[in-house]
Chains A and B, each alone.
With several copies, the nearest count.
Chain A
């Protein structure tokens, strides 16, 4: 039932709202054709991030793309942000419901 050709990688990036614009710009420069952002709060190695105000807010960003592109973006994110920013990235496969007239639009 599952159509292998529609399997893409979804990358989820949870990071500081302070760098949301930077991260999104980078992703687009790296070739992302889309992304989705949601306001978030959390806990991690950088402590509690309660979102009570700008500097303590998180954002949860999703990017869906081919595995190759996603890995390229993930590596770039890791290099640029992991050391100095609160950031967690994880990947998993998703089956995308395709636009028939936009075949291969995410390749």
Chain B
């Protein structure tokens, strides 16, 4: 069974690669991503309202640690194998330590289509994972430099569009609970998959644009963009298993680890590590890892979860 939203992505990709005139106005791209972020937050918040928050604390800590660790794992590879400049290696590492909300949404939709349960507090982890990698990236690039305007960084990270909408949605969902959400369900919940389909159509077009730079950066980046999620996915799945998560939960944990940011991190790096070439990290995260993840990665991470559970 093939998910229509993936086909929307492929339609956009083909349109972009064939240089069709098709494009979504920037304002619509904004609207779609706002709707997705709020919807994910709201859904997560409503679920959070149902369970004791304290029980989640250990998992939340572990996820934070993962967010700090992942970029450190790939940084030396980028520096010594990829031979990137320090700033570029640090910036790419930050992208891969963080998460892609679009990829998360695809994984959620993949599980929903198969009626596979997953722990509903996952959106909390999305919020948590957005941030640590950015701090690590800046530290890797600059050391503990006096130059870094940490106030600005904190502002950028904590008050960026993604965090505000995700966390805002979470809190609103958490306050009003399942009942309270009913009246806004038609927009935020019922339309979710359709909005995701349109969003992926546009992401396909954008990805096609990014692929133009592929040949310029060569084979290493392609390999990196595929191997990293394959490995990180296993790390995420293992962490999920460690916390006794369900098959669906492990699949999502794997997807979070495997996905690479293309919104919050590039914006933060552009301001804080300006000497890093944004085209390099976006080609990797958006031109390679994003399409890999939504087409092949998510099913792969699902088999990770099934395999690990079969071992247990």
Contacts and interface: CB of A to CB of B under 8 A. Distances in A.
Do A and B come from the same complex? yes
Interface of A: 16, 18-19, 21-22, 39, 46-48, 50-57, 83-85
Contacts, number: 45
Top 10 A-B residue pairs of the complex, sorted by shortest distance between their CB atoms = A84-B274, A18-B270, A84-B275, A55-B266, A52-B206, A53-B29, A53-B206, A51-B26, A18-B267, A52-B23
Interface residues of B, number: 21
B263 interface: yes
B270 A52 contact: no
Given A21-B21, A47-B279, A53 B271 contact: no
**A22, A47, A52, A84: which has the most chain B beta carbons within 10 Å?**
A52
Contact of B205 (A46, A52, A54, A84): A52
Contacts of B76: none
B181 to A, nearest CB: 27
A26 B186 CA distance: 44
Contacts of B263: 54
B209 A50 contact: yes
Interface of B: 21, 23-24, 26, 29, 202, 205-206, 209, 213, 262-263, 266-267, 270-271, 274-275, 278-279, 282
A55 B26 contact: no
B162 to A, nearest CB: 11
Given A21-B21, A50-B209, A55 B282 contact: yes
Contacts of B267: 18, 54-55
Contacts of A51: 26
Interface majority SS (helix, strand, loop, mixed), chain B: helix
Contacts of A50: 209
Given A18-B271, A19-B271, A51-B26, A56 B209 contact: yes
14 contacts: A16-B270, A18-B266, A19-B270, A21-B21, A47-B213, A52-B24, A52-B202, A52-B205, A53-B26, A54-B26, A54-B263, A55-B278, A84-B274, A84-B275
Contacts of A54: 26, 263, 267
B274 to A, nearest CB: 4
A51 B29 CA distance: 11
**A18, A53, A83, A84: which has the most chain B beta carbons within 10 Å?**
A53
A37 B26 CA distance: 15
Nearest to A22: B271
Nearest to A80: B274
Contacts of B275: 83-84
Contact of B26 (A16, A21, A57): A57
A55 B285 CA distance: 13
Contacts of B213: 47
A42 B188 CA distance: 34
Contacts of A85: 274
Contacts of B202: 52-53
